[in-house]
Amino acid sequence: MSNLSNLKGFVSCALDCTRFRLVRDEADTENEDLAFKPEMAHQIFGESESIFGYRDLRVDVMASAGALDLFFDISYSKKVDELHAEGLKADDVEKALAAIVEDGCYYTSLDEFKRVLASKSDSFQPFGTKVDEFRYPAVGAGKGGESSQAEQRTFEVYVSSATDAEYMKFHSRLEMFSFWFIDGFSRVEIDPFWMFFTVYERYEADNNNEAAIEPRYATVGYLAAYKYYSYPNKVRPRISQILILPPFQKLGIATRLIEHTTYEYFSKLDNVADITFEEPIEAIQHIRSVIDARRCKMLPAFTKDKLLAGFSKEMLEQARKHHLINAKQCRVVYEILRLGASDLDNEEQYRAYRIEVKKRLNMNYSKHRRDLARAKKRGVDVTAALCGLPSVAERIESLNAEYKEVEEIYGLVLQKLLLTTP
């Protein structure tokens, strides 16, 4: 028993001992300031996100900034002795890492990785067709409404298809990061209906020669969209995955992809019904809601009088026609804008708004009760199902809590609208 208690020192938190670096040249391999940690590790090391069998474990993952060639370095001061651990074996860390590299191609020799880095860094080029270019900070975003060229960073977006074999090899290495930063992530299948909007930063390296400044590219992240069929002759692109690597976050890149790049791309196609999102995380839904609310606010169907009159078919039609917004998201936008249009000090107006939102929140519960009532009339025993439902009092309490949370979220969107609307 005492031996097992001593093994606690051989348990490491994967989130604490794992570090990533995106390296542009050999000097970056030694630059500790470039290191960043994962957001999650349960998809690699299990729900506990722990690694057993090592003391002072350190897992370093380096990727060349452009092509994303991978280097794994696993170091520790001591490894558990199986003879004194009652048969317990140390976790195979390299095997766990290799499992999320689809083509199995990675390096464990730093010298070899440096040679590959040197040979590819100046020749790597983006895959696919260029569809967007933007700068950060944007022109006029600096002090006094100006931002110098030296301060600006340039980003380019290229669209690729899953039918591009070379791109998919590259994308499999980019997906390696998704396991650490997208919860519930799974690799996409090779399917011609998948599209990828990949972002790269274009930068310059002078190679110690002022006369030969060559542009280079660093991979930033991607947005994956699947073109679903929409009856009778259209497609409905669904945004499935968005990953912006941590060194490039908080630069407005995800917002740019949602608000401009994909919207501009799909709006030019005649066969697109609308654009949907697959269970977006809270941060992405917030970005989406701000963008869509700002757009719909300018439509004739979303005037204050019409918002206070209630949700309408006119809103659905205009949101879809002008901004490719689907029905579910249009309803969310309506509720956000109606909250902004309502006088919360006017009890009648505020009460009408709360009832409107709560009706939507309660739809599934009410439908389930109606379905059970119909089944009971047909002679079906629904006693067990009814027992599983919350009481009316319990449902009212939970509904009030749901509404409060929704109003808080909508309030944050409205605050952002005030800050971003000219």
- The model's pLDDT over 111-157, given as tens digits with 9 standing for 90+, comes to 999 999 999 988 999 999 999 999 999 766 555 555 555 579 999 99
Cα dihedral 332→271→284→145 (10° resolution): -100
More confident residue, 365 or 294: 294
Backbone angles phi, psi at 392, to 5 degrees: -60, -40
pLDDT computed for residue 372 by the predictor: 79
Find out whether 249 is annotated in a ligand binding site: yes
The catalytic position among 39, 146, 204, 278 is 278
Q: State the Cα angle at 125 between 65 and 284, rounded to 5°.
A: 60
> Residue range 20-29: average pLDDT?
96
Residue 390 CA to residue 386 CA, distance in Å, equals 8
Q: State the Cα angle at 113 between 107 and 114, rounded to 5°.
A: 170
pLDDT computed for residue 2 by the predictor: 45
Judge whether 254 and 200 are in contact, CB under 8 Å: no
Find out whether 9 is annotated in a ligand binding site: no
User: For 306-316, how does the pLDDT look when each residue is reduced to its tens digit (9 = 90+)?
Assistant: 999 999 999 99
Question: Please, what sign has the CA dihedral across residues 422, 146, 158, 65?
Answer: negative
Assigned token pair, 25 = 């040249």
Find out whether 251 is annotated in a ligand binding site: yes
Backbone angles phi, psi at 49, to 5 degrees: 55, 40
Report the largest interatomic distance among the alpha carbons of the chain, rounded to a whole angstrom: 87
Assigned token pair, 298 = 């300018």
Lowest mean pLDDT across 60-64, 75-79, 144-148, 256-260: 144-148
- The tokens 């009706």 sit on which residue? 359
Determine whether 278 is an active site residue.
yes
Find out whether 250 is annotated in a ligand binding site: yes
Find out whether 253 is annotated in a ligand binding site: yes
Residue 228 CA to residue 278 CA, distance in Å, equals 12
More confident residue, 365 or 395: 395
More confident residue, 322 or 89: 322
Judge whether 284 and 254 are in contact, CB under 8 Å: yes
Residue 183 CA to residue 418 CA, distance in Å, equals 31
